[in-house]
Amino acid sequence: MNPAPTRADDEKNIGGVHIKYLYHCARQLWLYGKGYRPEHRSDLVSFGEIVDETSFTRRRDIDLGEAKVDWVTTGAVVHETKSSRTPNPDHAAQVRHYCLLLERRGITVQGGTVHYPLIRRTTPVDWNAEARAQAETDEHRARSVLAAPHAPPRLPRSHCRGCSYLDYCWGE
Binding site residues, ligand SF4, CB under 6 A: 25, 27-28, 154-155, 159-160, 163, 165-166, 169
Q: Considering the complex, what minimum distance in angstroms separates the CB of residue 159 from ligand SF4?
A: 6
**In the complex with ligand SF4, which residue's Cβ is closer, 140 or 159?**
159
* Closest approach of ligand SF4 to the CB of residue 25, in Å: 3
Least separation in angstroms between residue 32's CB and ligand SF4 is: 9
Q: Measured on CA atoms in the order 170, 9, 11, 19, is the torsion positive or negative?
A: positive
d(CA 107, CA 47): 32
Q: Which is nearer to ligand SF4, 117 or 152 (CB)?
A: 152
Cα–Cα nearest to 20, from 60, 57, 48 = 48
- In the complex, the smallest distance separating the C-beta of residue 137 from ligand SF4, rounded to whole angstroms, is 21
What is the C-alpha separation between 95 and 101, in angstroms, rounded?
Answer: 10
CB of 82 to ligand SF4, least distance (A): 18
Residues 6+ positions from 106 with CB-CB distance below 8 Å: none
DSSP letter at 114 equals: E
Phi, psi of 14 (to 5 degrees): -95, 125
For residue 35, give the nearest of 1, 68, 3 by alpha carbon: 3
Determine the Cα–Cα distance for residues 171 and 63; give it in Å rounded to an integer. Answer: 35
Kindly tell me which of 121 and 159 has the beta carbon lying closer to ligand SF4: 159
Which is nearer to ligand SF4, 101 or 151 (by Cβ)?
A: 151
